[in-house]
Chains A and B, each alone.
Chain A
């Protein structure tokens, strides 16, 4: 059994019919339940549920406080390389894009690490494009060896790997994986991934599970919101998270809600996701999975991020750059997308304190 079987179960489901049939009494009943099933979750993504955002928010806030307290974990991405062999219609790293390509040397990784660590951050997320030639697992491993001197938690957001490769990186010191399916719709997936190994939908879909099998401590998944009808994508994201949490209870599962951002290239989102939609997704996921982590990155603008604190978010990125060498290197590679929240770590820290939340810089200890 893989999550693909769950996907197939709902692939032909009449989403439109179901979402349009949701009633007030259904929503009120769901709001009074402690444990939601798949279709309760879907109902919370309906237009009808949009009329209940306030009671959903109240419940989401209570659940988040009970489970995570008044604490928000801070991290930042560190781009190691933007070399990529894929041709993804929506991505700045698309191999057809004429951008400045760069891969950090280990010395440069150290410089970046020093700059980031000086802000107090202890959690880092390292990223590469997909190029086994430029950034093989051995390179990622060498970077992890350097980063271990500076950070207490190292997560990866790289191309999907085999179970053994995940195990190798965990052994080297990696404790978290972030991997977005981009879209759960297998047909659309083939349309937007024009060329390259990323066209293998199943291999990517099963990657978070392979990381769980390798005993990754934290696994973070998501869909790139804007590619497809957000209700379906949010639904499958939640089901995927729930599938992993049920099957691998020892892994901390979390969900990101990345919305498409402007980037190098001319892709236009097919289904824009409004702020209200984004909030609805976050609240529905919190009610469906009270224990799941929820990450909101600097793709979102400050005003929105600040208002999401306390509603469900458990992790925020801060002081971000999507450029290769963006923290301390003069000769930078071009970025993946434009970020919307350019505040420094100190500014995010102060914002959290002012909202009555503790910025958590360290929430893991390499053992």
Chain B
């Protein structure tokens, strides 16, 4: 089955993106990436430590992966833009995940500032993947600003609650002609499968994999769930029905 995800002209065979922030050691990251087959890996610039090779996350990401730095720590568009520019130089990647958060209690993204940052960074030649609160109108604005994909949260980051924003994300998938990547809140492989069955282009997972007792095995479990969910979506699932449907229909006598 030829089912490639294409972002900014790049063909990706894996629809599982991995976050790197919460692992017990950088040393586990190569195996997590290899076992999951992930090709896109996000790294917070704030954690990139070029002065200390042993502690530098970038040294643990296998060749061939696309490094997508993120702007974690940015409180507004201006800070996101500044972080993105430093990240491009530090990580040697044109991809950027814009993350603008000015609410430390719930860590919800600020869509307004995210749109402003996207407008600027697209013009500077970045491949911009904005992290956002699920909202169709803002997703359209991001598309118009030139975003390469949109990344709505499934639930507040780190909560492992699953696809709580399901209805809003569904609308985005139906209406936006950009890849919709569910980022944040997915706590179990079944959550990831659910997002993929619904038609999400990909998912991004960190907490659920990084804080598992066996992160490598959990990464593989997510990978399998993402594949299963995607396959089910492509296969065309039967509709969910409210009532049982008798094999001898009640209105069969009308035929």
Pick out which of these stretches binds chain B: A128-136, A176-184, A243-251, A332-340: A243-251
A103 part of interface (Cβ distance < 8 Å): no
- Which residue from B23, B46, B105, B158 sits with its C-beta under 8 Å from A245? B105
Report the minimal beta-carbon distance from A242 to chain B, rounded to whole angstroms.
9
B21 part of interface (Cβ distance < 8 Å): yes
Q: Name the CB-closest residue of B to A364.
A: B46
Q: Is the CB of A365 within 8 A of B103?
A: no
Across-interface contacts of A71 in B (CB, < 8 A):
21-24
Q: Is the CB of B210 within 8 A of A367?
A: no
- Which residue from B22, B23, B103 sits with its C-beta under 8 Å from A249? B103
A114 part of interface (Cβ distance < 8 Å): no
- Which residue from B55, B82, B158, B210 sits with its C-beta under 8 Å from A70? B210
Inter-chain CA distance A217–B47, complex, in Å, is 16
B207 part of interface (Cβ distance < 8 Å): yes
Across-interface contacts of A68 in B (CB, < 8 A):
22
Q: Is the CB of A361 within 8 A of B55?
A: yes
Name the prevailing secondary structure of the B interface residues: loop
A301 part of interface (Cβ distance < 8 Å): no
Q: Name the CB-closest residue of A to B25.
A: A358
- What's the tally of chain B residues with a CB closer than 8 Å to chain A? 33
Q: Give B98-116 as 1s and 0s: 1 = Cβ < 8 Å from A's Cβ atoms.
A: 0000111111000000000
Across-interface contacts of B86 in A (CB, < 8 A):
365, 367
Report the minimal beta-carbon distance from B61 to chain A, rounded to whole angstroms.
15
A196 part of interface (Cβ distance < 8 Å): no
Q: Name the CB-closest residue of A to B215.
A: A70
Inter-chain CA distance A359–B45, complex, in Å, is 16
Across-interface contacts of A120 in B (CB, < 8 A):
51-52, 55
- Which residue from B23, B46, B75 sits with its C-beta under 8 Å from A365? B46
Inter-chain CA distance A176–B82, complex, in Å, is 19
A55 part of interface (Cβ distance < 8 Å): no
Q: Name the CB-closest residue of B to A175.
A: B73
Residues facing A in B47-83 (CB within 8 A) are: 47-49, 51-52, 55, 73, 75, 79, 82-83
20 A–B contacts, CB within 8 A, in A order: A69-B23, A69-B207, A69-B210, A70-B23, A71-B24, A245-B105, A246-B105, A249-B103, A249-B105, A250-B103, A251-B104, A358-B24, A358-B26, A359-B55, A360-B47, A363-B47, A365-B48, A365-B73, A365-B83, A365-B86
A positions within 8 Å CB-CB of B? 65-71, 120, 122, 217, 245-246, 249-253, 291, 353, 356-365, 367
